[in-house]
Structure 1
Amino acid sequence: MTEQSAATRPLRIAIVGAGPAGIYAADALMKSDTPAGFDDVSIDLYERMPAPFGLIRYGVAPDHPRIKGIITALHKVLDKPQVRLLGNIDYGVDITLEDLQRFYDAIIFSTGANADRALEIPGIELDGSYGAADFVSWYDGHPDVPRTWPLDAKKVAVLGVGNVALDVARVLAKTGDELLPTEIPPNVYEGLKNNQALEVHVFGRRGPAQAKFTPLELRELDHSPTIEVIVDPEDIDYDEGSEAARRHSKQVDMICNTLEQWAIRDIGDRPHKLYLHFFESPAEVLGDADGKVVGLRTERTSLDGTGNCKGTGEFKDWDIQAVYRAVGYLSQNIPALPFDDQAGTVPNEAGRVLIDEDADGSARYLPQTYVTGWIKRGPVGLIGHTKGDANETIACLLDDVASFTAAPEPELEAVTGFLEGKGIPFTTWAGWYRLDAHERALGEPEGRERVKVVEREDMLRASEPDKVSK
């Protein structure tokens, strides 16, 4: 450590993004040995929303209490005295990298991915064509999206066969009353109650063995008393590469077995039909003279022996009035950091932010700046996979501590004084407890665990920020 002695103070770390990735990084740092020259670690978690938990709160379907149970573990991390939450702070607007460098010895970015990856096919821009991430934000009560959603299409297409695609399809196929016992806010319930969808068609360009969803997520589709899941027997096909995938992955084999069972059963009389189509590659979204979606054109594909597919030149038009693309999330550019637009990640080596290479080929890093989670490796894997990212990033940070330049203003009150001086109404961990209690109280009269508050001002009011307490 240079410029000043840090022996009598904790190592000060800012983590930008208080979702699972950022909280796992905080946990990994607290579980590591305190670096020489410091008496502890002190972590401030910055969050753009007034509430923490990121993807868990705003990216997971409301009928997934199992996944939301992860919050219990994250809660324990944020309860630690070494951690502060500073919410309702927009990095790049309210505070900059240069600002953070004044108050912290190192900065970790864990901003995740909340935009939709593009799908470059004709007609994708038509009225009635949507990104799955936008729809997820709406039904999860994100404060920064519209309060209504057009749900007048009777036949809907979902493009993609990952877990997000199944979440979107399931929410579109369920009734509003089925979802009412969850935490959905009133505006979402009203929208879903009036949903006109009777058919939901999920399209994947490859076969059952290449589907990206998990077995549990798949089986959940069939749990609703109002949803009939239908699989065409002609879509059950495997080549040598597919069979190899089944042999080497119990998860792949379970998915294939479930789909095979659904393909041979009789179609029942549940009112909403959810079709899972394989070997159908989206080729064009069809529109009318007014620019509205009226159909989807797909090209039939076939396996090539390796588990990959090739087009057959056989096209089919489907009667569809709305299309949701669920082909992957995309991270957004972070001000003052390099960004790979194609990969949607910050260039890095094991979490160290990579600027470029010197003439001799050696890497040049942005000093004392790191990334973890989806902004580091892209939006792949389950939530728990970000633990490995966090451990790797924290290991690199701790290896680098000896060469750090000390923060000029590392005192705890320095940054809160800075925010107060700018008039930013930030929330705290104590504020989250108040918001949490408020949401639970809203749900209690209806026998619900909670009712999520949507409006940002209402969240701030319920949080009643206490800028003195933790």
Structure 2
Amino acid sequence: MLRVAVIGSGPSGVYTAQTLVEQEDVPDVEVHVLDRLPCPYGLVRYGVAPDHEKIKSLQNNLRAVLEHPRVHFLGNVEVGEAGVSLAQLQEIFHAVVFCVGAATDRHLNIPGEDLPGSYPATDFVAWYSAHPDAAVDGFTLTAGSAVVIGVGNVAVDVARMLSRGAAELASTDMPQGALGAMADSRVEDVWMVGRRGPSQAKFTTKELRELGALPGTRVLVRPEELALDPAYRDPSTLPAPMRRNVEVLRDWAERPVAMAAGVGRERRIHLRFFLRPVELLGDPATGVRAVRFERTVPDGHGGVAGTGEYEEIAGQLVLRSVGYRGQPQPGLPFDEASGTVPHADGRVLKDGQPYPGVYVAGWIKRGPTGVIGTNRPCAKETARSLLADAAGLAGRPVAAEPVAALERIGARPVPWRGWLAIEAAEAERGRSLGRGTVKLADWDGLLRAARSVLVGR
């Protein structure tokens, strides 16, 4: 039996486990999927917006893999400097696959970025998704105007959530504290701003169109900004996703989006292009009050150049969504330029040579690109590399009982039945509030819900 540890229970980790255990032409493989959190599914649970229930239903597919008889979920296991080391894992498993994603936000590196009221967009996402690492105090949403810097799908999610009414979100699994803050929100204007044009925007057309269907919300675009994009007048030469985005925006510019019926105050989403942030304005005592942008123009090479013309957009809440970056993993080589672990077909390369028994998949392998489905072929490539190496890996002696070995070095794993206990507690939480399932949003609550399987550990 080849015993493999997969670090991370998001799509890339689960797809890796699935490929490993479903191959019929290789010896039996046993996979332990380790996660720092007591809950599985990674960004499907903690990154997909609560109102995207169709995407969140992907959890059912991931669940089927984690319930495979030769796949074992072990949550609450920290891997790295604060927990179990790679060397310790190598004494327990024949192979280790890191599927840890890209955990940090990229910075703007401009003055005022750290003013109160300025946050990475992922902090906001973590809060409304009930991530247990989210700030305890959360967001009060007292700002009348919010600025979202970036034009990718995360930026669209954030703009949409800021513009939704609490009544529309009550049927989701959003934690009760976040739902209450949404109900009290004073945000009326949301500005989503990109430094380049609509044909370079990273959002998908489906996400973009959703903005135009929000009750009580207008979407405003400026034809003169769109027209700066060379592809705006004739997008026929663009790749299909970009062409569809431009066509939607052009339609909105020619026929302004009508406001759908809604309850409560009117909200406005302003889509702005060719504006590069240069400074956040405000002071440490009162927080951010505006963002200063420089007008840009296409430079003829796919980028933009500054014009020396500036504009200020008022905003007492600024959410920065300009990309993600992988973090170095203790014991692994790391490419600072790309924020990834060097590899060949998923085999980690140390000093240019394959590091026996150590692999990567997902964003830490290829960088923060693609959608959820992109992780499947990426994971398959890594799993196939590992299986090709199986004969040389399986002969090495390892600990007899993985869970007992992890406990001996200080880990306190939450097994699958512990996660089922958390699910039951969240369902009960929702019933008590007159809602559907409601997520538990703190470490104590999650681990307390799993206590029946942690007794004596």
- TM tier relative to shorter chain: over 0.9
**Amino acid across the alignment from 2:307:** T
1:220 alignment counterpart: 210
Within 5 Å, which residues of 2 pair with 1:255-404? Answer: 255-266=245-256, 271-288=266-283, 290=285, 292-356=287-351, 363-404=352-393
Is the counterpart of residue 168 in structure 1 residue 158 in structure 2? Answer: yes
2:74 alignment counterpart: 86
Within 5 Å, which residues of 2 pair with 1:455-470? Answer: 455-464=442-451, 466=453
2: CA distance between counterparts of 1:72 and 1:272?
35
The count of aligned residue pairs is 448
Is the counterpart of residue 68 in structure 1 residue 56 in structure 2? Answer: yes
**Amino acid across the alignment from 1:73:** N
2: CA distance between counterparts of 1:300 and 1:375?
34
2:262 alignment counterpart: none
Determine which of 3, 14, 17 is the counterpart of 1:26.
Answer: 17
2:427 alignment counterpart: 440
**Amino acid across the alignment from 2:208:** L
Structure 2 CA distance for partners of 1:457 and 1:424, relative to 1, 3 Å: farther
- How far does residue 266 in structure 1 lie from its aligned partner after superposition? 4.2
* 3-state SS in 1 of match to 2:386: helix
Contact 2:32 2:73 in 1 (8 A): yes
1:119 alignment counterpart: 108
- How far does residue 160 in structure 1 lie from its aligned partner after superposition? 0.4
**In terms of mean alpha carbon deviation, does 277-286 or 434-443 score higher?**
434-443
**Amino acid across the alignment from 2:19:** A
Structure 2 CA distance for partners of 1:133 and 1:42, relative to 1, 3 Å: same
**In terms of mean alpha carbon deviation, does 255-264 or 65-74 score higher?**
255-264
Determine which of 453, 458, 461 is the counterpart of 2:440.
Answer: 453
**In terms of mean alpha carbon deviation, does 75-84 or 331-340 score higher?**
331-340
- How far does residue 234 in structure 1 lie from its aligned partner after superposition? 1.2
Contact 1:331 1:378 in 2 (8 A): yes
- How far does residue 238 in structure 1 lie from its aligned partner after superposition? 5.9
**Amino acid across the alignment from 1:425:** R
Contact 1:132 1:324 in 2 (8 A): yes
2: CA distance between counterparts of 1:233 and 1:149?
34
**Percent of aligned positions that are identical:** 42
* 3-state SS in 2 of match to 1:286: strand
TM-score (norm 2): 0.92
**Amino acid across the alignment from 1:192:** M
- How far does residue 446 in structure 1 lie from its aligned partner after superposition? 5.4
**Amino acid across the alignment from 1:102:** E
- How far does residue 29 in structure 1 lie from its aligned partner after superposition? 1.1
2: CA distance between counterparts of 1:343 and 1:251?
25
Determine which of 8, 32, 36 is the counterpart of 1:17.
Answer: 8
1:95 alignment counterpart: 84
Is the counterpart of residue 134 in structure 1 residue 123 in structure 2? Answer: yes
1: CA distance between counterparts of 2:356 and 2:449?
39
Contact 1:425 1:465 in 2 (8 A): no
- How far does residue 420 in structure 1 lie from its aligned partner after superposition? 3.1
1:207 alignment counterpart: 197
2: CA distance between counterparts of 1:132 and 1:77?
31
**Amino acid across the alignment from 1:433:** L
1: CA distance between counterparts of 2:380 and 2:256?
49
* 3-state SS in 1 of match to 2:291: strand
Determine which of 77, 82, 96 is the counterpart of 1:107.
Answer: 96
* 3-state SS in 2 of match to 1:223: coil
Following TM superposition, the consecutive aligned residue runs of length 4 or more in structure 1 with deviations greater than 4 angstroms are 238-246, 266-270
* 3-state SS in 1 of match to 2:191: strand
1:182 alignment counterpart: 172
**Over residues 143-199 of structure 1, what are the superposed CA-to-partner deviations in whole Å (9 max), with x where a residue is unaligned?**
122232242211111000000001111112222232221101111112222222111
2: CA distance between counterparts of 1:340 and 1:364?
15
Structure 2 CA distance for partners of 1:101 and 1:422, relative to 1, 3 Å: closer
TM-score (norm 1): 0.90
**Amino acid across the alignment from 1:381:** G
- How far does residue 19 in structure 1 lie from its aligned partner after superposition? 0.8
* 3-state SS in 1 of match to 2:133: coil
- How far does residue 464 in structure 1 lie from its aligned partner after superposition? 3.7
2: CA distance between counterparts of 1:267 and 1:23?
40
**Amino acid across the alignment from 2:126:** S
2: CA distance between counterparts of 1:352 and 1:133?
30
Structure 2 CA distance for partners of 1:298 and 1:239, relative to 1, 3 Å: closer
Structure 2 CA distance for partners of 1:336 and 1:313, relative to 1, 3 Å: same
**Amino acid across the alignment from 1:67:** I
RMSD: 2.2
**Amino acid across the alignment from 1:273:** R
Structure 2 CA distance for partners of 1:242 and 1:399, relative to 1, 3 Å: farther
- How far does residue 34 in structure 1 lie from its aligned partner after superposition? 4.5
Contact 1:426 1:465 in 2 (8 A): no
* 3-state SS in 1 of match to 2:79: coil
* 3-state SS in 2 of match to 1:170: helix
- How far does residue 421 in structure 1 lie from its aligned partner after superposition? 3.2
